[in-house]
Structure 1
Amino acid sequence: MSAPQGGTAAGRRPRRLRTLTVLASCLVLLAAAVVFAVRALGQEPTVTLLANWTGTDERNFRQAVIAPFQRKYHIHVDYQGSSAESQVLGADVEAGTPPDVVVLTGPGELADYAGQGQLKPLDGLVPAAGFGASWSTPLNGHVYWFPLKADLKSIVWYPAGTGERQRTEAAHRPGQWCVGMGSGATSGWPGTDWIEDILLQKYGPAVYQRWARGELSWRSRQVRSAWTTWGRLVAGAGGNSGLVRRALKTPYQDAAKPVTAQPRGCTLEHQASFIRSQESAWQRVDGRYEHSARLIPGATATGAWEVSGDLVALLHDTPHAKTLIRYLASAGAQRAWNAKESGFSVDPQAQPAPADAGPAWHRSLARTLLDERAVHCFDASDAMPPSVRDAFAEATIEYLAGPRRLDALLASLDTLSHAPDLTWLPSVCDHVP
């Protein structure tokens, strides 16, 4: 219906409103055009960053690390968090649209990308003395990654108040281990952590490193023993079908839920240090930890720890991306991340002040990661070429479901490990006694 022509002053108000509305719309469109033009001209620089942090970890990362960077440098960080980041990165690289900066847990995967010429050297961007060789292993004379977040993996968690004798007895009862193998596209990795740590604790860093470098057969006595020891611990000598089904159907983040039941459904969990800072059962039962060697049958190593890390790498060496790399490698950024209890920094200069160091368990784990007397060996499967890593994770699931297939699984892993054009890291331990 049209408004009447002419009329009283009241009848003329709608025309004024329409005029103001049109003017406001034009201003909005003009502002949007200006923003677009500013971005197009590079006056509002953006760095794209892909990592695997979601939920609480993502919030902590944004608040403690990214927000201060954006305020200081006026560079926007376009962050994408994905639990399937390897698949996302692979698709982006294939499409020719990789992020500027990526954070991956696998140095083996990063070494593969470096071999393809996808990564840019970080020489001069990262403090030379900031991180040990096991954390930023040089390739062809260059450093291609460094850790922003580190974790310990040679750990067994138990509820506060569980005595040493109770823990020892629980360790010999397969049903008392909290086990969850599910993790979406990366299911099976909790099993690889178990096998790696058993090999490290039973046979020491030298054997572990030979295996992680592709020099020790999967069918060797030591590696085979690590698999069978794990099987007996979590499923019993005969492979308890009920325990196996529970382990295969349970997501890793839910593995410890039975520890809060009455009576407890499980008592011990072999899991990395990050599980304590998540919203998990271990927070509700005031989880404590001890070195896994005390509960692994036949353990002989002393002071050997399996570790993991979220490693930062550069794919586009633009000035703004380099600025972000320098910032993430700085003591200030490392300290801010450490203080959030989402992980640990292994830069000795980045430790928080005692008053800000957090609870006792966090301080203790931080000291262990920096202990120069200890041997820190990077997660072996993460250090392996991606094809071997993925097959290893799948094999742990198949082994639990059918222990009699072990010899065939190990033979298959041996064959895969000898495929041509695989990149194996020269070392995974900071020092081998």
Structure 2
Amino acid sequence: MSARPRPSRRLVRTVTVVASCLAVLAAAVVIGVRALGQEPTVTLLANWTGDDETNFRKAVIEPFERKYHVHVDYQGSNAESQVLGADVEAGTPPDVVVLTGPGELAEYARQKHLVPLEKLVNSEDFGTSWATRLTDGHVYWFPLKADLKSIVWYPAGVGEQQRRQAVHQPAEWCVGMGSGATSGWPGTDWIEDILLQRYGPDVYERWARGELPWRSKQVRDAWTTWGGLVGAGGDPDLVRRALKTPYEKASEPVTATPRGCTLEHQASFIRNRPAWQDADGRYEPSAQLIFGAPATRAWEVSGDLVALLHATPEAKQLIRYLASADAQRAWTAEESGFSVHAGVRPDPGDARSDWHRSLALTLRDDRAVRCFDASDAMPPAVRDAFAEATIEFLAHPGHLDTLLRSLDTLSGTRGLTWLPSVCDRGP
């Protein structure tokens, strides 16, 4: 068989130029259609910025746009609660929002700003603590990703005895309370987890639902225990460092020489920070390390929750997509969080590490009790006051009575929306 004649170089060049022009023309058409508002568009507000936003766009948004030919107008903000509140007030809210606070979403649902999701999402794909059914019988959100909070991180090579000794030395704790408009939430995580591990999920849930007073013995004990562990009101330099350090930089001293701190009580997402990557961070359940419990009673968890504000065809399509196993699996593969979708099982071949597989299995353990972050589940006004109070307490623990009394007064305000449940006890 004779070989085919090769095309001339002039012909190849001509074809290449034409192809390039067509590609440029196609891109110009897409841009022009978007500019004219002719391409279907859905607006999405979430808290991912920087690298997280880049990963989210690559893993989730772009595949959706290619598959459904719908443009996603994404806005990422570290102050998304404030942005959403302003947009709702102005009458220009996004179509879809991703928030960490079910308490905040419950308030929007009460005000009729959210669309029920029963016809779009199978809530059985998620546990009841993740896709909560409100008192009106509707489900208004589901998790795109989840994190575990009842854990303490430490550098690889730090032995059990050294960890047990470090627990009782405030300078050994990596603490950073800063988080812009939401500063103080790392302190709320501490108090919530101490209450959960020391008194169990029933007491925790009563408190998170506004039924257990802040001045109760159990809640007061959680505050004072935290204060003792991190040295509230003690060494001025230590307290100042905790108050001024952003939470995402609290772990940086673990890689210093000499090491500046050893332990960090923080959610699973913090393992993605450079310091813990460099230190090959490992974790231990907080119940075992702090209280010496033989077994963990329950786990505090958090999540990024998706809700629908405008039921446009494009927004409903995005909701279905974000609730799908494929989208959740793709985001989990790119992000430090985990999916709790029933169709996304932990991958036994996950090459990331033992700690990642272990956390994934814990989040999916049918025998475990999981309780959603209590402050995130509280009404926004109470949540914000709680976070501010932890900052004041860390600097001035003698103000605790006044702080708890104020929180009790605020929690008793009429018209607040409390969740019916925050704990998922499994089958």
CA contact (8 A) 1:258 1:265 kept: yes
Which among 77, 85, 91 is matched to residue 82 of structure 1?
Answer: 77
For the residues of structure 2 that align with 1:390 and 1:409, how far apart are their CA atoms?
A: 13
Cα displacement (A) at 1:361: 1.2
Are 2:104 and 1:109 aligned?
Answer: yes
Cα displacement (A) at 1:243: 1.2
In structure 2, the residue matched to 1:276 is 271
In structure 1, the residue matched to 2:298 is 304
Residue-by-residue CA offset, 1:144-196 (whole Å, 9 max, x unaligned): 00000100000100000111111000001111000000011000000000000
Residue-by-residue CA offset, 1:243-272 (whole Å, 9 max, x unaligned): 111100111111111111111110000000
CA 1:118–1:161: 2 relative to 1, 3 Å: same
Which among 156, 177, 198 is matched to residue 202 of structure 1?
Answer: 198
Are 2:248 and 1:253 aligned?
Answer: yes
Which among 364, 375, 378 is matched to residue 381 of structure 1?
Answer: 375
In structure 2, the residue matched to 1:291 is 285
The root-mean-square deviation of aligned C-alpha atoms, in Å, is 2.1
* 1:326 match: secondary structure: helix
CA contact (8 A) 1:339 1:358 kept: no
CA contact (8 A) 2:151 2:285 kept: yes
In structure 1, the residue matched to 2:218 is 222
Stretches (4+) displaced over 6 A: 30-37
Moved more, 346-355 or 129-138: 346-355
Letter in 2 for 1:150: A
For the residues of structure 2 that align with 1:355 and 1:301, how far apart are their CA atoms?
A: 27
Cα displacement (A) at 1:345: 0.3
Residue-by-residue CA offset, 1:285-333 (whole Å, 9 max, x unaligned): 0000010012224768734100000000000000110000000000000
CA contact (8 A) 1:125 1:326 kept: yes
CA 1:359–1:132: 2 relative to 1, 3 Å: same
CA contact (8 A) 1:50 1:103 kept: yes
Q: Which runs of 5+ in 2 are unaligned?
A: 1-24
Q: TM-score, normalised by structure 1?
A: 0.89
For the residues of structure 1 that align with 2:36 and 2:240, how far apart are their CA atoms?
A: 57
For the residues of structure 2 that align with 1:69 and 1:313, how far apart are their CA atoms?
A: 17
Q: Which runs of 5+ in 1 are unaligned?
A: 1-29
Which among 18, 22, 40 is matched to residue 45 of structure 1?
Answer: 40
**Percent of paired sites with the same residue:** 77
For the residues of structure 1 that align with 2:201 and 2:127, how far apart are their CA atoms?
A: 16
Which among 127, 137, 142 is matched to residue 146 of structure 1?
Answer: 142
Which among 160, 168, 174 is matched to residue 172 of structure 1?
Answer: 168
Which among 184, 187, 207 is matched to residue 188 of structure 1?
Answer: 184
For the residues of structure 2 that align with 1:366 and 1:38, how far apart are their CA atoms?
A: 42
For the residues of structure 2 that align with 1:36 and 1:341, how far apart are their CA atoms?
A: 29
In structure 1, the residue matched to 2:92 is 97
* 1:151 match: secondary structure: strand
CA contact (8 A) 1:153 1:307 kept: yes
For the residues of structure 1 that align with 2:112 and 2:170, how far apart are their CA atoms?
A: 46
Residue-by-residue CA offset, 1:338-377 (whole Å, 9 max, x unaligned): 1124210001311364334632111110000000111100
Cα displacement (A) at 1:240: 2.3
Cα displacement (A) at 1:106: 0.0
In structure 1, the residue matched to 2:393 is 399
For the residues of structure 2 that align with 1:33 and 1:249, how far apart are their CA atoms?
A: 48
Residue-by-residue CA offset, 1:372-428 (whole Å, 9 max, x unaligned): 111100000000000000000000000011111000000000000000100000000
For the residues of structure 2 that align with 1:205 and 1:108, how far apart are their CA atoms?
A: 18
Are 2:122 and 1:127 aligned?
Answer: yes
Q: TM-score, normalised by structure 2?
A: 0.90
Letter in 1 for 2:263: L
CA 1:299–1:196: 2 relative to 1, 3 Å: farther
Moved more, 201-210 or 31-40: 31-40
Question: Which entry has the higher C-alpha Rg, 1 or 2?
Answer: 1
CA contact (8 A) 1:334 1:345 kept: yes
The aligned length equals: 402
CA contact (8 A) 1:341 1:362 kept: no
Letter in 2 for 1:240: D
For the residues of structure 2 that align with 1:282 and 1:32, how far apart are their CA atoms?
A: 42
In structure 2, the residue matched to 1:424 is 418
Cα displacement (A) at 1:55: 1.7
Are 2:187 and 1:162 aligned?
Answer: no
For the residues of structure 2 that align with 1:338 and 1:322, how far apart are their CA atoms?
A: 22
CA contact (8 A) 1:200 1:301 kept: no
